[in-house]
């Protein structure tokens, strides 16, 4: 009986040690559990050294996010403000296993925005044959723009040649799953009303004009064209990243 008790005690200690390790700072990091403490509208967590958004990874049945000791992290809420400070951005530090803002200890639940971070589209140089590069991303601070999707868009033809984005494979099984999605936005890049252009009624009219019959479009049988993503929402981790894919320049 005593040996069984010792075994159970040892297992309990191992379990507690593992739980403590998830919140401690092994190898000079702050490792934090996401799911129980993640805010409704998480701020953008930007690592100035890697010049990338910090992403979570799967850890057992949960998700964790790791901050390097003394790393330069910027919290940003483009388009609104941080819940904790009331400011647009703040510097976050990992020190001794704790997260600090202005030398005050904060929790993951504090790292939220009042609303979801608002993306913007920034025009760049030439691309393709007559296209203009449009970057969908976020203004972290005035001097830093974090692009997520590069779109080669033809302003005269109002068509997209291609899109480019990165997929972070290590974080794919730790992404946010939310069935709610916004509608596609035109961002004032089209002269026509895009919601009408993609409508089923418009498809029937177009088929009749092009081939003389609209019999191929049968709404009740779901025989019609549905718009889809070029850079899909499922390739991104955070909810605000997934929502930022919903632009007509990223649709086909």
Calpha distance 92→72 (Å, rounded): 7
Whether 24 has a pLDDT exceeding 70, the answer reads no
- 170 vs 1, residue with greater confidence: 170
* Same domain? 198 vs 243: yes
Asked if the model's pLDDT at residue 10 lies above 80, the reply is no
Report if residue 13 sits inside a domain. Answer: no
C-beta separation of 92 from 77 below 8 A: no
Do 89 and 131 lie in a common domain? no
Q: Look over the chain and give the mean of its residue pLDDT values, rounded to a whole number.
A: 87
Total tally of structural domains belonging to the chain: 2
Same domain, 72 and 146: no
Does residue 251 contact residue 184 with C-beta atoms inside 8 Å? Answer: yes
Residue 29: its pLDDT value, please? 87
Long-range contacts of 55-61 (CB under 8 A, 24+ apart): 55/168, 55/170, 55/171, 55/174, 55/237, 55/238, 56/171, 56/174, 56/237, 57/170, 57/171, 57/174, 58/173, 58/174, 59/22, 59/33
* Together in a domain, 143 and 73: no
- Both tokens of 19, joined, read 């739980």
* Residue 237, domain extent: 120-250
Q: What does the pLDDT read at residue 216? A: 80
16 pLDDT tier (thresholds 50, 70, 90):
very low
> Does residue 78 sit in the same domain as residue 124?
no
Q: Is residue 8 part of a domain?
A: no
> What residues form DSSP beta bridges with 48?
none
pLDDT tens digits, one per residue of 217-243: 887 777 777 888 999 999 999 999 999
Q: What is the DSSP letter of 184?
A: P
**Tokens representing 200?**
């089923």
Pairing of strands 98-101, 104-106: antiparallel
* Res. 108 pLDDT band, cuts 50 70 90: very high
Q: Per the structure block, which two tokens stand in for 21?
A: 């390790």
Last residue of a domain, one of 78, 110, 142: 110
In a domain, 146, yes or no: yes
Same domain, 137 and 240: yes
Examine the pLDDT at 252 and tell me if it is beyond 50. yes
- Residue 14 in this model has a pLDDT that exceeds 70: no
Instruction: Please identify which residue in the block is written with the tokens 């025009």.
Output: 123
Instruction: With beta carbons less than 8 A apart as the criterion, state whether 102 and 77 touch.
Output: no
User: From CA 172, how far away is CA 169, in angstroms rounded?
Assistant: 5
pLDDT digits (tens, 9 = 90+) for 128-185: 999 999 999 999 999 999 999 999 999 999 999 999 999 999 999 999 998 888 999 9
Kindly state the average pLDDT of the residues 3-17: 44
Q: Is residue 90 part of a domain?
A: yes
Closest CA to 82 of 104, 58, 49: 104
pLDDT at residue 99 tops 70: yes
Q: Are residues 66 and 131 in the same domain?
A: no
Pull the structure tokens for residue 108: 């993951």
Identify whether residues 239 and 178 lie together within a single domain.
Answer: yes
Closest alpha carbon to 198 in 224, 220, 161: 224
């Amino acid at each position: 009986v005593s040996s069984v008790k010792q075994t159970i005690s040892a297992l309990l200690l191992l379990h507690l040690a593992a739980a403590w390790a998830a919140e401690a700072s092994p190898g000079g990091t702050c490792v934090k559990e996401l799911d129980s403490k993640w805010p409704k509208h998480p701020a953008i967590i930007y690592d100035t050294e890697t010049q990338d958004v910090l992403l979570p990874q799967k850890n057992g049945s949960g998700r964790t996010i790791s901050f390097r000791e003394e790393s330069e992290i910027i919290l940003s809420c483009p388009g609104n403000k941080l819940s904790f400070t009331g400011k647009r951005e703040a510097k976050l530090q990992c020190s001794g296993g704790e997260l600090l803002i202005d030398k005050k200890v904060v929790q993951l639940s504090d790292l939220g925005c009042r609303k979801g971070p608002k993306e913007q589209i920034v025009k760049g140089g030439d691309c393709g044959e007559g296209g203009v590069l449009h970057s969908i991303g976020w203004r972290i601070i005035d001097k830093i723009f974090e692009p997520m999707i590069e779109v080669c868009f033809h302003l005269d033809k109002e068509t997209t040649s291609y899109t480019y984005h990165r997929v972070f494979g290590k974080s794919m099984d730790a992404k946010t799953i939310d069935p709610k999605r916004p509608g596609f936005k035109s961002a004032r890049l089209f002269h026509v009303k895009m919601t009408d252009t993609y409508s089923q009624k418009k498809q029937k009219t177009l088929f009749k004009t092009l081939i003389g019959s609209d019999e191929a479009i049968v709404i009740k049988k779901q025989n019609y064209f549905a718009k889809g993503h070029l850079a899909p929402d499922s390739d991104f981790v955070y909810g605000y990243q997934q929502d930022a894919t919903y632009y007509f320049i990223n649709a086909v």
